[in-house]
Structure 1
């Protein structure tokens, strides 16, 4: 969920588009540096997020489940095997059709595929989880947002470890992979403790001056926004102030989390 919400690449390409990158991304290697942090998100991760939202929408609005959907697909396409492969392979159009059948709502099925499978809309995680009495809560810490993007080498240099993500503070400041952070808010940065100490004095969205030595060897000073950590947590609404845990939410959550395994 966090991967999907915070991936720049997923904003521009559908899960189907991402699956076409498989030959280049799944255990493939390249002699050239890639910008996959901004252009790619695994279709496995995207699929997990889509499945989560689909299951909750089916339970909330269509009196069925993702399990029923998968069982229907197995019965139509997987149960008959030929040479260790399905005798009747399915297409994406088949997946959409069967979703319409088990939900008894072809308009829903067509819209869901148009938005999240053929398209690249953000799945409605917050809305779907709230129906089960679960709230998405921002982590509200700006320190790790920067700390996770840098690493210290044996010489104590604070280096940007990977391509900076679109929208991040480093990206907006024009700082990228291989650049060295020399000074942050007037404090020389020579260790992780130096970085942590400089960040501890500030709150999210503070703007500080940063001195950088670029990968080309030039030194420059610019402004850096200390962005909030975009990671969210899932918490039960009954643990949150000013949120009500309704009987409907309780019923949906209990059914969703209950085991369906035969005794």
Structure 2
């Protein structure tokens, strides 16, 4: 969460010199970790003479959907300062009201936690992986109070604590207020620890995984290569609170794949088998999440300030906050030498294909795609949706727009590039933590590259859903942009075959031959072009004998009724990207400046 350095300094000073200040005290123990339980106690003091409203959060920093963390809280009790049990009522599923107290309340509960990722918590005998909103309750009207938390670690399991919270003593930690507390994940385990000083600040990695010391050393070198290359983009690291930044990495068979940014730390998790070498595991997620310390944590959309822990958080700027960060994810890996230039350029086609060939652009522009986050950002629902046709991830959409903006700037006179524009956003908004709007981005781009350029980019690609001319942009920098499968005929919607019956893998894609033929996801496809699907392994075997424009018959069954339709095949729209090694020298030089950040 956004906090000024001055606030932290004042809070630290008041706390450290011993002035009287009411602090909320938390304590957590893990005696029943084998069954994924923790026992949690919260000590509230100096309360007003009214009901105490204790809540679990419904969402978490870095997430935009609701997650209803109260569902894993039970055995709730409350006591006053004399140890008398107090009455608890439930006004809603997320809250416990405590009445009849004498100004002091000890609130106790049991937490069940068994998902180790960036959103939830996991407790077992390998670790206590704690996302704070999924773990700790809090009280309304007392969010401003400082917090101290004691982690009663399992000494028998050699557990240690890693977190961005300020260390006080032993296993006791401090947060200046609730916002900072809820934004401070914790990994408690027998982890590897590495650190390096960069510009007077400590970059630390706590890595919980099965690996050798040599593997961890090699991995940390790559992490630090990412840190340095990203610092080069912005010209400096942020001033981390307490002068520290911590990677909280958990790669184990019981963890789930995720990455989640926080103000001075990040959680990166993955389901890594014990015997799998560490190598570059989840390294792209490391790149993505660290870039967020500038872009989203400090260069922060006004729509996410303040972050609401009780409702979904909607932002129209995610194409920039998440999408441009996704653009830099792979680019930084190439600049750091973790992947080759050829590897980076070749994967660019994936995002461009996804966006260019998606019908979602007919329904929403990048801003409106960003608005969909509360429905798609790890949200859970059981009713089917039509997102194959209506939605493009703002991560991917924003990434290919970031690519287009970078290459467009580099094609102008004046040595312009996206690195320097991001640095300008950092200097004008991020460094002093001034929340921005979409209009602010447009104004900054106008100041950087001119009003005509900025208006063209925003009017066509942000407020509208037009597609940049990637062919021209790739040509301008010595890259190849070409058909991936010339002459290949397709049906436009993927079909899988199981036990001789074909079914659409998704809803029929709007405008595809399958869609126009009226075939839907519930249909059983028995025969294509006279070939029984029971006699082939894939539909591609059949289509390889046809050309775009050919007509082919498809036999289907729907609710017991057989139907035969004729379908006109279309050309595969996929493109392929690669480095053009025969490009003239001036284009190769431009490409090198881009990929090497020269």
Same fold, judged at TM 0.5 (above): yes
| 2:478 is aligned with 1:133 | yes
CA contact (8 A) 2:489 2:546 kept: no
Corresponding residue for 1:55? 406
Closer/same/farther in 2, CA of residues 192 and 141 from structure 1, 3 Å limit: farther
Shift of 1:227: 2.6
Aligned residue for 2:443? 97
TM-score (norm 1): 0.85
Cα offset, 1:79, TM superposition: 1.2
Contact 2:493/2:506 (CA < 8 Å) preserved in 1? Answer: no
Question: Which is further off, 37-46 or 24-33?
Answer: 24-33
Per the alignment, do residues 259 and 61 of structure 1 end up closer, same or farther by CA in structure 2, a change over 3 Å counting? closer
CA contact (8 A) 1:157 1:191 kept: no
Q: Which is higher, the Rg of structure 1 or of structure 2?
A: 2
Counterparts in 2 of 1:205 and 1:97: CA distance versus 1, 3 Å? same
Residues 513 and 567 in structure 2, CA contact (< 8 A), matched pair in contact too? yes
Question: Cα 1:75–1:34, aligned 2, differ >3 Å: closer, same or farther?
Answer: same
Show the counterpart of 1:160.
504
- Highest relative contact order (Cα 8 Å, sep 6+), 1 or 2? 1
Q: Is 1:35 aligned to residue 386 of structure 2?
A: yes
Q: In structure 2, which of residues 443, 454, 459 is the aligned counterpart of residue 114 of structure 1?
A: 459
Cα RMSD over matched residues?
2.2
Q: Which runs of 5+ in 1 are unaligned?
A: 81-85, 240-244
Q: 1:194 to 1:32 in 2, by over 3 A?
A: closer
* 1:238, distance to aligned residue in structure 2 (A): 5.2
Asked if the contact 2:487–2:571 (Cα under 8 Å) also holds between the matched residues in 1, the reply is: yes
8 Å CA contact 2:496, 2:505 repeated in 1: yes
Q: How many residues align?
A: 246
Q: CA–CA distance in 2 between the matches of 1:148 and 1:118?
A: 29
* Aligned pairs for 1:14-93 within 5 A: 14-62=365-413, 63-80=415-432, 86=433, 88-93=434-439
Counterparts of 2:595 and 2:552 in 1: how far apart (Å)? 45
**Which deviations, in whole Å up to 9, do the C-alpha atoms of 1:90-114 show, x marking residues without a partner?**
11111111111222x1121122111
Displacement of 1:257 in angstroms is: 1.6
Distance 1:138 1:120 in 2: 22
The verdict on how the C-alpha distance between 1:255 and 1:22 changes in structure 2, with shifts beyond 3 A counting, is: same
Q: Secondary structure at the match of 1:61?
A: coil
Conserved 8 A contact 2:492-2:509: no
Distance 2:504 2:420 in 1: 46
What is the TM-score of this pair, normalised by structure 2? 0.39
Q: Measure how far apart 1:164 and its partner are.
A: 1.2
Take 1:189 and 1:251, find their aligned partners in 2: how far apart are those partners?
Answer: 51
Structure 1 residue aligned with 2:56: none
Structure with the larger strand share: 2
- CA deviations on 1:46-67 (whole Å, 9 max, x unpaired) are 1111111100111111421100
Note closer, same or farther for the CA distance 1:55–1:168 as it changes in structure 2 (3 Å cut): same
Contact 1:11 1:122 in 2 (8 A): no
Maintained 8 Å contact 1:141/1:204: no
For the Cα contact (< 8 Å) 2:489–2:544, is it kept in 1? no
Greater alpha carbon shift after TM alignment, 65-74 vs 135-144 = 135-144
Q: Point out the more displaced range, 16-25 or 28-37.
A: 28-37
Residue matched to 1:233:
576
Q: Whole-Å Cα distance in 2 between the matches of residues 163 and 64 of structure 1?
A: 42
Query: Partner of 1:223 in structure 2?
Result: 566
* Residue in structure 2 matched with residue 169 of structure 1 by the alignment: 513
5+ long unaligned stretches in structure 2: 1-351
Whole-Å separation in 1 of the counterparts to 2:424 and 2:572: 40
Matched, 1:182 2:526: yes
Contact 2:421-2:445 at 8 Å conserved across structures: yes
Deviation at 1:237, TM superposition (A): 4.5
SS across alignment from 1:208 = strand
Q: 1:256 is matched with which residue? A: 594
Q: 1:76 to 1:227 in 2, by over 3 A?
A: same
The secondary structure found in structure 2 opposite 1:193 is: coil
